[in-house]
Amino acid sequence: MVRRERSVRRGLKILGGPDRLLNFFKAIRPDDDCTAVRLIVEEINSGQSIEAGFFTGDEFGFSLEVESADPGRYVIRFGCQPSPMVGDGGEWVVSFGPDGTIESIECQSTWLS
C-alpha cells in the first residue's frame, strides 16, 4: 500500500466513511478553479466509487488528508497530481451536521503546480 492510499484510508476513517467526502465534493462550487475537484466529481458522476478514484495508479493521482478540528469540523486537503510537475488542489475547513450534510465550507488555500 502506497503512502497516498494510506492517507486516503485514514481520511475516510476520520470522516466516518465516504458519504461526508461525497457531500464535500458536491458542495464545492462548480466555478471554483480546482481542476482536481472537477475531475473527481466527473468520475463519481460516471458511476465510479470515491475509493476507486483514489486507489488507481501509483504515487501520482488524487490525494486526500483529513484532520479533525472539532467535533463535526474537519480540515480537508485534497488535490490531484497526475505527474511530478502537474496538478492542483486546496485546503478547506468543513463543518458537517449530524446527518453528514455540509453546514459550512471555507477554502483556506489552493495550490497549482
pLDDT for res 58: 66
pLDDT of 55? 75
Number of domains in the chain: 1
- Name the average pLDDT for the chain: 88
**The pLDDT value given to residue 57:** 66
Tens digit of each residue's pLDDT (9 = 90 or more) over 12-65:
999 998 999 999 998 986 556 788 988 888 888 899 888 777 777 666 788 999
CB 87, CB 68: distance < 8 Å: no
Predicted TM-score (pTM) of this structure: 0.89
* The C-alpha cell that represents 97 in the structure block: 451536521
Task: For residue 65, give its domain range.
Answer: 3-112
